[in-house]
Amino acid sequence: MYDPTTYDPFNHTLLIGYPMQIKPSPEECTDEALSPAHLAQAVKALQTDGYVVIEDIVSHDHLDLIRERMDADAQLLYDAKQWSGAGGLPGHLMLGAPPFAPFVFRDIVANPFAVQVSQAMLGDRFFNGLYSGNSNCPGSQTQPLHRDVDHLWSSLTVAHPAASLVVNIAPQDTSEENGSIELWPGSHLDPTFGSVISAEAEAARRATSPPIRGNTRKGSVLIRDMRLWHRGMPNHADQTRHMIAMVHNIGWLQRGRVLKFSTDCEAVFPEGPLDHNAAFTDEPIDHVGLRTG
């Protein structure tokens, strides 16, 4: 079983309460693939704790460009007080990266390390069911504890293997200061049903398996089982904390809508085990979803 004593992504000292971190070697970065040992480590962490972080595998230049645009888009939603996410609480916005050039990059929509881990967890054919994200604004509130999806069957006494994984990429460092996500280790293995976690269940689990914070360095990727208990936390900083989100689903899971991207970025999406579930269009795409009136 994975030992939850892991190293802090900010200073690499051993600490309790930080997510499992894997730092690819220069050779792995050249190959764009984790070694067998690192891949096994990632899979074990996801199976046991429900999350893993792969460090420094996304271009900072790409993230800087996206962050600047997301800052402007988030301001539109913030001014409209268009709150979203669990509880619909002030300060939390549903916002993804723009799905058109020059903001779409292979190391985000088809990051080879994330694809490798998802393939190991979900099998040889899986699809992306989401291209969105969230923005956590200064002064935000604490979300209710929840899971993004339930187990596939309500009568289980033992949790089934992963069917959906969230791939999160933050275009900046995330920490307790700017509202890093709260994660509850191993909670994806709790077979109880229901998306909102009761106060009684939270207290019982806190006594034996307290939460950690999903602190990550810019350029890192956080992968988690969608059933994992989590919540958005207050942002005490003076800048908005953004997060890009994709959801890798096992191939036989029912599909929702096709994801729309502009034709000018079609070449970014490579062939491979990940079905991008994408349609490309020359029509304008409203990725902000600002409501008027």
**How is the chain split into domains, by residue range?**
5-281
- SS3 (DSSP) at 231: strand
**Per-residue pLDDT, 291:** 84
Strand pairing class (259-262; 278-281): parallel
Alpha helices in 179-225 (DSSP H): 199-208
Percent of the chain exceeding pLDDT 70 equals: 93
**Per-residue pLDDT, 53:** 97
**Per-residue pLDDT, 78:** 97
Q: How confident is the model at residue 16 (pLDDT cuts 50, 70, 90)?
A: very low
Structural class in CATH, domain 5-281: mainly beta
**Per-residue pLDDT, 18:** 54
Q: What is the mean pLDDT of the chain?
A: 92
Residue 258 burial (CB < 10 Å; 0-12/13-18/19+)? Answer: exposed
- What is the chain's alpha carbon radius of gyration, rounded to the nearest angstrom? 18
| pLDDT for 3 beyond 90 | no
| pLDDT for 1 beyond 70 | no
The predicted model gives 53-82 an average pLDDT of: 97
Give the Cα separation of 106 and 195 in Å (integer).
Answer: 32
Query: pTM of this prediction?
Result: 0.92
| pLDDT for 17 beyond 90 | no
* Least confident segment among 3-7, 26-30, 94-98: 3-7
Q: How far from 183 is each of 42, 51, 59, 145, 146, CA to CA, in Å?
A: 16, 8, 25, 10, 10
| pLDDT for 4 beyond 80 | no
Question: CB-hemisphere CA count at 13 Å for 80?
Answer: 16
Q: Token pair for residue 77? A: 């939603």
- SS3 (DSSP) at 168: strand
Q: How confident is the model at residue 20 (pLDDT cuts 50, 70, 90)?
A: confident
Contact 107, 62 (CB under 8 A): yes
| pLDDT for 101 beyond 70 | yes
| pLDDT for 252 beyond 70 | yes
Q: Model confidence over 124-170: pLDDT tens digits?
A: 999 999 999 999 999 999 999 999 999 999 989 999 999 999 999 99
**Per-residue pLDDT, 293:** 60
Chain CA centroid to CA 5, Å:
22
Q: Tokens 């994709």 — which residue?
A: 246
